[in-house]
Amino acid sequence: MSLKTSLSFLATDISQMPPPAKYGNKAIEAVSFNRADLEDGNWELVWKNVEIACKNYLPKNVTYHFPMNDSDYVEDEWVYSKLIEAYRRVNDLDLSGMVIHSNRIKTFSEWSLLNVRDEQKKVLDRLKSLVKTTKKAPSSWLGLENMPLVGNSGYDIDPLFCFVSDFENLPDGVGIVWDICHAVSTVEYLHAHEEKRLKEDLTLRTSNDDYLDFVTLQRKIQHYHFAGVKGLNDPESNKVCVEGVLPTESSIPEGVYIKAVKLMDKMSPGASINFEVQERNYYERDTAPIILNWVKGCL
């Protein structure tokens, strides 16, 4: 097995970080979700905890996930300044890399009035400027994550970087974090759209993507996120999409996930695969050992 197995912990709660020997993961991801983590107090706590993670796992086995909720670095200059600071800190600490989203979350109705290509360019221009803020060649990668085509609620979405074609024109210095949970969810929505299985058309965009098309992005992928997905959102029927389930519990055949993880292992030797599986208790995890044993069985 060439992939480094990784687990997440809330960047403001060091007690969630499992010791390396507890579950057998080789890497760790410190995750910030919300704008509040960028504010005084929380912000310094985040980096204090990242430094502790470095001592436990070594810097090149640590990734940092920049917040996505209410953290629009295109329109908000203060958020952009924190993004610059985060990227500097990641490089100063010599972490493996930093995960970012496009952070352009809007309602479905708002997106229907915007031009996707224009909005993509705004994000890419920002990231190009971010890379230029480094005074020397960065030691840590910067990875833009693919998003699901439809948000978990079915109303708020960020549909800019969902398909493999959306990543064709990344600026130099920007790589990809490929999230298989988001990718298979996106493809399921495409299938549902084609087969008219949804009462309401929520897809907004269409493509010919399939589950394993990420192989075409091989040279740009730096890091993986991995979990299963169950169901599709359909607000008219009160149905929801659940992310972070085990592959064996997904509404998508387990074989899709087995093929995906084998491809990842072959394509990206030495990269980390971060398992974003839901836990009832993130201090004493039940699902982490299951997913880590599952991936070992696949490979």
How does pLDDT run across 35-51, given as a tens digit for each residue?
999 999 999 999 999 99
Q: Where are the domains of the chain?
A: 4-298
The confidence score (pLDDT) of residue 196 equals: 84
Q: Which amino acid is at 239?
A: K
How does pLDDT run across 109-146, given as a tens digit for each residue?
888 889 999 999 999 999 999 999 987 778 999 999 99
Q: Which helix (H) or strand (E) holds 128?
A: helix 116-132
The confidence score (pLDDT) of residue 233 equals: 82
Fill in the DSSP letter of residue 18. P
Distances (CA, A) of 89 to 3, 110, 113, 126, 218: 25, 34, 37, 18, 27
Residue with tokens 């295109």: 74
Does the global pTM surpass 0.75?
yes
Average predicted confidence (pLDDT) for the chain: 94
Of 211, 190, 193, the residue nearest 201 (C-alpha): 193
pLDDT of residue 199 exceeding 90 = no
How does pLDDT run across 154-164, given as a tens digit for each residue?
567 899 999 99
What φ, ψ does residue 214 adopt, rounded to 5°? -65, -15
pLDDT of residue 201 exceeding 70 = no
Q: Which helix (H) or strand (E) holds 182?
A: helix 180-194
Q: Does domain 4-298 have CATH number 3.40.140.10?
A: no
Residue with tokens 């210095």: 173
Percent of the chain at pLDDT above 90?
83
